[in-house]
Amino acid sequence: MVDDLEKGLEGVLVAESGLSSVDGDAGRLIYRGYSIEDLARGASYEEVVYLLWHGELPTEDELESFTASLTEERSVDDDVLETIEQLADADERPMAALRTAVSMLSAYEPEADAEPDDLEATRRQGRRITAKIPTVLAAFERYRLGEEPVDPDPDLGLAANFLYMLTGEEPDELAAETFDQALTLHADHGLNASTFTSMVIGSTMADIYSAVTGGIGALSGPLHGGANQDVMEVLMEIDESDLDHREWIEQAIDEGRRIPGYGHRVYNVKDPRAKILEERSEELAEQGERKWYDYTTTIEEYLVEEQGLAEKGIAPNVDFYSGSVYYQLGIPIDLYTPIFAMSRTPGWIAHVVEYQEDNRLIRPRARYTGPEDQEFVPLEER
């Protein structure tokens, strides 16, 4: 039995997976052997979800059938919508509202009585969760605005449909493609904290709703899922400042402020997903406001090239560009992390099912550091 202590399980192998691989030194991410660049630029989000769940890219007929199966599951029960409205009226945090709603969805699961080891049933349940989360999240935002939810449009893909349900207007081609690409970039990323949380829950053979709810809870922590929101808040602070954006970043560094969106637990070079979203940010800038793109590129140039962060293995991660991209798409800032959860849900499901195929209860141990041989004193003598 190994007694070495690795805080945060740093570098500890706990499972084998054929889903995704991250090479932090080379800045490379693959899903099922395909580079993230090829998938993001050449495949739809539905194709990527199919790949994660089935191990191969779909044919045209398979994709049509798979997309139809997702589309028909988008609606949620009126009782769930009523609860979402109550959460919006109570000014609940979006991630907490999403966590509650996903947990509640299990009450309307038609295969709730399926055996825990029936992995095909688990996959079908996961499909329902994946299809309904965009509806839940868009409805929450509509209720916050005092408006009624927009029904899903069966003629739109998952990404375009979410933007449509959010605003009531069908997105243009660039917006739909950009958001679809962003979902693909966030679909999976090895054994990150939320994925591992879902796997731990899944290893007990708990239902997939519990595993996804746990993943949402883990992702809600500021050390995991909130950096994209933090980045946008910094960019807005720059915009509202009297300083030039280069002057602002120089002053912030002098004051010892930490700039969000930099550094990663795995990557020592620029996150490949950040490179792709940087391209999309520039495209969006050409159609709208250019300042957000200019702010991010100026910050990157200053920190990476002039401050030498690259030599220290610190570079932009995906959050550094996803925040401004989502803002350019008109998405409210506090929905960025729930969108992260929405895109990552198929990855959580894939990891749970993969692990349960050869399941072993995840049960690590801790090194005891407490007292030994305490003498017990009866209550009346204490």
C-beta of residue 260 within 8 angstroms of C-beta of residue 354: no
* pLDDT reported for residue 315: 80
Spatial contact of 109 and 125, defined as CB atoms under 8 Å apart: yes
The SS3 call for residue 221 is coil
Return the domain boundaries, the chain: 227-329
pLDDT at 143 over 70: yes
Domain boundaries 227-329, corresponding CATH code: 1.10.230.10
Q: Which residues are catalytic?
A: 264, 319
Give me the helix-helix angle, 208-219 and 193-203, nearest 10°.
Answer: 150
2 pLDDT band, cuts 50/70/90, is: low
**168-177, 218-227, 363-372: which has the minimum mean pLDDT?**
218-227
The CA angle 192-334-39, to the nearest 5 degrees, is: 50
Q: Give yes or no for residue 311 having a pLDDT over 90.
A: no
Q: Residue 347: is its pLDDT beyond 80?
A: yes
Lowest pLDDT segment from 96-105, 163-172, 250-259, 283-292: 250-259
Mean pLDDT of 234-259: 86
Q: Chain-centre distance of CA 30, in angstroms?
A: 17
pLDDT per residue over 242-254, tens digit each?
Answer: 888 788 888 888 8
Q: What is the mean pLDDT of residues 316-328?
A: 90
